Amino acid sequence: MDTLILACPDCSGLNRIPSVRLYDAPRCGKCRSPLFQQQPVTLTAASFDAHATRSEIPLLVDFWAPWCPPCRAMAPAFAAAARAMEPQFRLAKVDTEAQPELGARFAIRSIPTLALFHRGQEIARQSGAISAGEIERFAREAFARYAKG
């Protein structure tokens, strides 16, 4: 049976889930929270690697800041994309003001910036505010190109 490792959005604990059960509302074995909550996960420096490196589904991160009008304008679209894309993708937000080390680590020069990760590797990046449909299209097309090799 094919299994995937998923990080919990609440406790960042790692969970091994049979891939056929992704759509069965799996829960974290550690904290019992739903592994998919149909909303972006807020990541910190402490939780980032569990989701970007150890989790086996693609992770789309919105690097943003609370003072940025385009970032605030894109937030509802990013939330809508999370509802549409889970469980094939995990969507997360990193506040570059609260987590400056992550902004520096990934050389974020403008916000909002979307970065797509899979198994610890950044595979695509897009800057600027875009719609929910464009967010979904960007992630799915970039991951399909990456998966083809």
Residue whose token pair is 């190109």 = 145
- The answer to whether 52 touches 23, Cβ cutoff 8 Å, is no
Q: Which helix (H) or strand (E) holds 75?
A: helix 69-85
Query: If DSSP codes are grouped into helix, strand and coil, which group holds residue 2?
Result: coil
Which listed residue (11, 28, 31, 71) is catalytic?
71
Neighbouring CB atoms inside 10 A of 142's CB total 19
Whether 68 is catalytic: yes
Give dist(CA 95, CA 121) in Å, integer.
20
Whether 11 is catalytic: no
Which listed residue (11, 28, 31, 68) is catalytic?
68
Q: Which residues are catalytic?
A: 68, 71
